[in-house]
């Protein structure tokens, strides 16, 4: 695979950020920023780091902030509380009862932490469909909670990300296509009038859904706030599957996106997860 640092024909340099909730997980959370730095990266992103605790004690937040500072690593993206990740039970904001209550309790905590470390993207994951609850009721709850999150993100100087997952792995999630996620983005922006909701363009999830990736890039990049990659099949590192990720990232750059590209793939235990990417292409 060719060096993706500067993709031929693109005016933008690809800026990589390591998802330290799916990579480097053999290490404790507070050691992962330093490990990313040691591997040559200067940015990480995280799912909500405490899936069983949407409102952790301040000491835990302070410890993570210190770990980022000591490593000299930026936090470029953070999920709001979304239950257990990875897995088919991911997402919380559209689920009535305890899960959406946890999401709401987490909103200000996550947004304030993002503000304190200069994180400019907050991801809010839809929940699964729930038996016995009308879809319209779940969607109304989702819009209410997404608007709450968008306002908190705006106060933190961040965008709110809306992500499409994939139907094979998350069969009960209603957001499993780019058009459906874009529809939610527009609804949130119309509700809040803040225009800070954006699409999270995850090339792995979209490819698992069988979408035309080139068409999605061409139609959605203008409203995209973040990009994530993994190869397909297998959700492995670039070069382990069949996706032409260099060409796709080139197309994203030509469409005007110059933000972060999150490395959100799985790596075999004990293997170096970054051998595909030359070290001089890792620092952003």
Q: Does 49 fall in a domain?
A: yes
CA–CA dist 274, 282 (Å, integer) = 9
CA–CA dist 218, 251 (Å, integer) = 8
CA–CA dist 209, 201 (Å, integer) = 13
What is the structure's pLDDT at 90? 79
Q: Is the pLDDT of residue 88 over 70?
A: no
- Smallest Cα–Cα separation from 200: which of 109, 66, 82? 82
Q: Does 190 fall in a domain?
A: yes
More confident site: 6 or 164: 164
What is the structure's pLDDT at 60? 98
When divided into structural domains, the chain yields a total of 1
What is the structure's pLDDT at 84? 82
What is the structure's pLDDT at 50? 96
Q: Does 248 fall in a domain?
A: yes
The arithmetic mean of pLDDT across residues 71-94, rounded, is 90
Task: Tell me the per-residue pLDDT of 132-161, one tens digit each, with 9 for 90 and over.
Answer: 999 999 999 999 999 999 999 999 999 999
- Smallest Cα–Cα separation from 221: which of 204, 198, 196, 245? 198
Integer angstrom CA distances of residue 68 from 6, 43, 73, 128, 150: 27, 9, 5, 32, 25
Q: Does 60 fall in a domain?
A: yes
Residues taking part in catalysis: 163, 264
Q: What is the pTM of this model?
A: 0.94
Task: Tell me the per-residue pLDDT of 31-44, one tens digit each, with 9 for 90 and over.
Answer: 999 999 999 999 99
Phi-psi region of 224 (alpha: psi -120 to 50; beta: other; left: phi over 0): beta
What is the structure's pLDDT at 9? 33
Instruction: Give the mean pLDDT of the chain.
Output: 94
What is the structure's pLDDT at 111? 98
Q: Is the pLDDT of residue 107 over 90?
A: yes
Q: Does 3 fall in a domain?
A: no
Q: What is the CATH number of the domain that holds 182?
A: 3.20.20.150
Phi-psi region of 91 (alpha: psi -120 to 50; beta: other; left: phi over 0): left
Q: Is the pLDDT of residue 8 over 90?
A: no
What is the structure's pLDDT at 6? 37
State CA 134 to chain mean position distance: 28
Task: Tell me the per-residue pLDDT of 159-202, one tens digit each, with 9 for 90 and over.
Answer: 999 999 999 999 999 999 999 999 999 999 999 999 999 999 99
Q: Does 4 fall in a domain?
A: no
Q: Does 8 fall in a domain?
A: no
Q: Does 6 fall in a domain?
A: no
Residue 12: pLDDT band by 50, 70, 90 thresholds?
very low
Which domain does 122 fall in, by range? 15-281
């Amino acid at each position: 695979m060719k060096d993706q640092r500067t993709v031929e024909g693109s005016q933008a340099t690809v800026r990589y950020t390591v998802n330290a909730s799916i990579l480097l997980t053999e290490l404790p959370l507070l050691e992962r920023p330093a490990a990313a730095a040691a591997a040559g990266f200067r940015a990480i992103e995280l799912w909500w780091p405490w899936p069983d605790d949407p409102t952790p004690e301040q000491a835990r937040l302070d410890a993570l902030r210190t770990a980022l500072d000591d490593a000299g690593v930026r936090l470029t993206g953070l999920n709001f509380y979304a239950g257990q990740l990875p897995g088919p039970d991911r997402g919380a904001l559209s689920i009535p009862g305890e899960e959406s209550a946890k999401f709401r309790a987490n909103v200000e905590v996550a947004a304030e932490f993002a503000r304190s470390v200069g994180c400019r993207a907050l991801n809010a994951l839809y929940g699964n469909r729930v038996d016995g609850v009308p879809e319209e009721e779940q969607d109304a709850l989702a819009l209410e909670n997404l608007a709450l999150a968008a306002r908190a993100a705006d106060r933190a100087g961040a965008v709110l990300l809306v992500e499409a997952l994939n139907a094979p792995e998350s069969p009960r999630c209603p957001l499993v296509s780019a058009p459906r996620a874009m529809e939610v983005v527009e609804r949130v922006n119309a509700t809040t009038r803040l225009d800070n909701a954006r699409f999270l363009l995850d090339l792995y999830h979209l490819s698992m859904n069988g979408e035309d990736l080139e068409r999605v890039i061409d139609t959605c990049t203008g409203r995209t706030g973040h990009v994530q990659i993994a190869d397909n099949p297998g959700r492995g590192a670039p070069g382990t599957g069949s996706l032409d990720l260099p060409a796709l990232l080139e197309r994203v750059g030509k469409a005007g996106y110059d933000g972060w590209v999150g490395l959100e793939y799985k790596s075999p235990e004990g293997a170096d997860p970054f051998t595909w990417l030359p070290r001089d292409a890792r620092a952003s």
